[in-house]
């Protein structure tokens, strides 16, 4: 790959994520299984699951969208631990949560 092609590829990747076309709900699902399921698994999924609002209920809230969820994940919040996730991961997770909306 020439230097120029590399630059071009990089530009496309950057543009793609800026435009929000790269959300990967499948990856988001895997991330939530690792980082969120203990608390947010919902009804009787895991013995460890505490009584925290399940993702389905979050997705069903009026006015909730992927942008809000991703922003929430990136900001400090007190009731829930702050997780070391990247913005792109927050967006993948948000896409996955919004898929649960019926
Ligand atoms: C240690 C437990 C714990 C873990 C792990 C956890 N959360 Fe939470 N989460 C909470 C608590 C507690 C709240 C706030 C109280 C509530 O809404 O029940 C909350 C709130 C939220 C909210 C806002 C809900 C609302 O009412 O608008 C979202 C979105 C959310 N969590 C997503 C996630 C995601 C995504 C992950 C994994 C990356 C995660 N949480 C991991 C405990 C946790």
Per the CB < 8 A criterion, the answer to whether 84 and 63 are in contact is no
**CB 56 near ligand 1, within 6 Å:** no
The pick from 40, 63, 90 for probing ligand 1's pocket by mutation, whose C-beta has the most ligand atoms within 8 angstroms, reads 40
Residue from 31, 13, 9 nearest 22 by CA: 13
Protein residue with its CA nearest to atom 14 in ligand 1: 79
**Confidence band (pLDDT; 50, 70, 90) for 50?**
low
User: Quick one: residue 49, left, alpha or beta (phi over 0 = left, psi -120 to 50 = alpha)?
Assistant: beta
Using one digit for the tens of pLDDT, what is the confidence trace for 52-86? 888 999 999 999 999 999 999 998 877 777 888 89
Task: Give the per-residue pLDDT at 3.
Answer: 57
Instruction: For the full predicted model, state whether its pTM sits above 0.85.
Output: no
CATH 1.10.760.10 assigned to 23-99: yes
Domain ranges within the chain, ordered by starting residue = 23-99
């Amino acid at each position: 790959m020439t230097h120029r092609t590399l630059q071009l590829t990089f530009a496309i990747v950057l543009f793609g994520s800026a435009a929000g076309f790269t959300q990967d709900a499948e990856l988001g699902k895997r991330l939530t299984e690792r980082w969120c399921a203990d608390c947010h698994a919902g009804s009787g999924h895991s013995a460890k699951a505490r009584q925290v609002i399940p993702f389905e209920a979050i997705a069903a809230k009026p006015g909730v969208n992927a942008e809000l969820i991703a922003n929430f994940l990136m900001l400090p919040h007190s009731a829930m631990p702050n997780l070391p996730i990247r913005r792109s991961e927050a967006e993948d997770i948000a896409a996955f949560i919004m898929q649960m909306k019926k």
